Chain A
Amino acid sequence: MLKINALHKSYKIGDSSLHVLKGIDLSVEEGEMVAIMGSSGSGKSTLLNIIGMLDVADTGEYILDGLPIDNLTEKKAAVYRNKFLGFIFQSFNLINYKNALENVALPLYYQGLNRKKRQELGMFHLEKVGLADWSDHLPKELSGGQKQRVAIARALAANPKLLLADEPTGALDTKTSYEIMEFIQQLNDEGKTILMVTHEEDIANMCKRIVRLRDGVIMEDKKVTQVRASAHV
């Protein structure tokens, strides 16, 4: 599904440069649910951004679903992001002047679907996250958990191969966090491959595999017994 070899990334800060990723090797199979952990500055977000094609690596190999991701032009990256990837962010990143349904339907707009089809698919995914009744509400009229569920519906709308979540529960209280995790686990049960950055142990333990980063290298990569979020709700 996803294969990374000897990935390096450094950022220029003034005259000096900060070496963030120092040779990452990682491979993720279809249907996996992986938590990437590490303290701040360990490079976990950078790794997720490179996987998400929001950022580019300096050197190294990245193959997504058999497709080598290199020499990305902006245009090509846009197409790949739209086709292969769904994003879930800590701060939800909904467009504030669009209602829930319009937000969910936005990736479909960039896929070139017609309006009717977009509405249909958007509604379908909103229903899936249990917010069908909230479709015409603006983000500011929704609670944090609801916003994140809209964001998840949006990530699912384009039917991506890989779901990337950057601290998806970072802005939520524990109860809501578990509800969201329960939902994400459910998606994984249905076969979605999920990659998640988190620094919370309990959230990481709800995944099936934990990859720990420190100072730009992988310290530990182990499979864990998944803790079902439903047990905590």
Chain B
Amino acid sequence: MFDLDLWREIFQSINKNRTRSLLSGFTIAFAILLFTILFGIANGLQNTFKDAFVDDAKNRIAIYTGRTTKAHNGLQAGRRIRLKNEDFDYIEEEYDDKIQFLTARIYRNVQASYKNETNTYDLRAVHPDHQFLEKTLITDGRYINENDLKNKTKVAVIGRLVEEDLFIKTDPIGQYINLSGVQYKVVGVFRDDGGDNEERKIYMPVTTAQMIYGNNDYINEINIGYNPNLDYDQAIGFGSQLRKDLKKRFNVAKDDQRAIRIMNMAEATKSVDGMMVGLGIIILVIGFGTLIAGVVGISNIMIFIVKERTKEIGIRKALGASPKSIVSIILIEAILITAIAGYIGLLIGFGVLKAVSPVLEDYFIKNPGVSNGLVIGATMTLIIAGAIAGYIPAKRASRIKPIIALRTD
């Protein structure tokens, strides 16, 4: 039920007691402002951490090889260990249920030219799964596929910057690019969040590379995306198992650190996730702290307001105001001020975050901001807290004997 007269009374009270209204509003606006800014900055910090790992899949395990450093089983130290297709097949068969993605990698450095433009680029010969492990985003055409592998087709997928360098005003799809003397058909263009360096790469099928560069079955590196259903400990266990098995397979000493190396993202991700949890707790503490400060502020204001209005309450009661009308007039005023001031604090907070956002980027705080839902939730909490904090003094005020209220000056 909308009572126009009640609202008129409340607006008059707010309007005619401007200092009081502004002061209490300021406290609340300030609490919400602090909340927004602190929360925003903390969120920005979290965004930075998240972004640091956005380039590659979080479940990546990379296998590299080098030379042995220890003699083992009658074999000398200094022996070169090289991965081959059979090792790739072995991993695929042996660990099928623990693997989501699997790809080999062969590195080459190539001289690429199209018409009169020439430049050197890193070449990666890969399996189709590589797209998901590296989070390659195809913007045009397609990636390497199974057909390419089977037929050893001479196709290439080029990075955005390769396109920019070589294909001036030409659509590269379907054009032939010359890589160190061999012509390849460009079938796709990609983007990568990993930065410029990642976008100056060229991909081709691993089988094609093996045929053309040496006609062998060597592989530089094997990348695995472990099954995302594995938890961190299981994934770390998988990595250790892999290390052990491969060392055995290549006749390498157990404590040889160089011959076979395994980089498991699960280990890094686990510690980063731990850090994120820590950060989350800090954010929660900050949020709760500010909110509690705000709530305490509101309670104080309410007690002050009721004290200041004691005489007025006495007069109103002498004139026939019911206890209910006293409670509602004080409470609604408090809620109204809290809501409006909270909203203003929110807007200022958003503004400040937006203004300082570019500066903060230098301090590893990316995209500071808070979700609308969160801030509305915070404001609602303050309003409810204001109502509860206001209700007790308002109730007490309504119980004041008018005679006592009238005596106070």
Contact = CB atoms under 8 A, between A and B. Distances in A.
B249 interface: no
B70 interface: no
A59 interface: no
Contact of B320 (A55, A79, A91, A98): A79
Contacts of B401: 54-55
A81 B9 CA distance: 21
B323 A78 contact: yes
Interface stretch (A17-25, A104-112, A201-209): A104-112
A135 interface: no
A89 B320 contact: no
Given A55-B401, A109-B5, A115-B5, A89 B319 contact: no
B262 to A, nearest CB: 77
B317 interface: yes
A194 B280 CA distance: 71
Contacts, number: 68
A107 B320 contact: yes
A140 to B, nearest CB: 12
Contact of A158 (B320, B325, B409): B320
B243 to A, nearest CB: 80
Interface residues on B, range: 20 to 34
Contacts of B403: 49, 54-55
Query: From DSSP, what is the main secondary structure of chain A's interface residues?
Result: helix
B318 A87 contact: yes
Contact of A111 (B317, B320, B324, B325): B320
Interface in B364-409: 398-399, 401-403, 406, 409
Given A78-B317, A93-B406, A110 B325 contact: yes
Given A49-B403, A74-B399, A81 B319 contact: yes
Given A54-B401, A93-B406, A75 B13 contact: no
B321 A110 contact: yes
Contact of A74 (B8, B316, B398): B398
Contacts of A83: 320
A197 B318 CA distance: 17
Contacts of B315: 93-95
Contact of B406 (A89, A95, A106): A89
Interface residues of A, number: 28
B319 A82 contact: yes
Nearest to B318: A87
Interface string B16-59: 11000000000000000000000000000000000000000000
A107 B321 CA distance: 8
B312 interface: yes
Interface in A178-224: none
A154 B399 contact: no
B311, B319, B321, B324 pick with most chain A CB within 10 angstroms = B319
Contact of A81 (B5, B320, B325): B320
B180 interface: no
A85 B8 CA distance: 26
Contacts of A75: 322-324
A78 B320 contact: yes
B326 to A, nearest CB: 9
Nearest to B15: A97
Contacts of A79: 320, 322
B312 A95 contact: yes
A110 B169 CA distance: 81
Nearest to B13: A97
Contacts of B120: none
A77 to B, nearest CB: 8
Nearest to B325: A110
B175 interface: no
A188 to B, nearest CB: 21
A93 B311 contact: yes
B241 interface: no
18 contacts: A52-B318, A74-B398, A75-B322, A75-B323, A82-B320, A87-B319, A93-B314, A93-B315, A94-B315, A97-B13, A106-B319, A110-B319, A110-B320, A110-B322, A110-B325, A115-B5, A115-B8, A158-B320
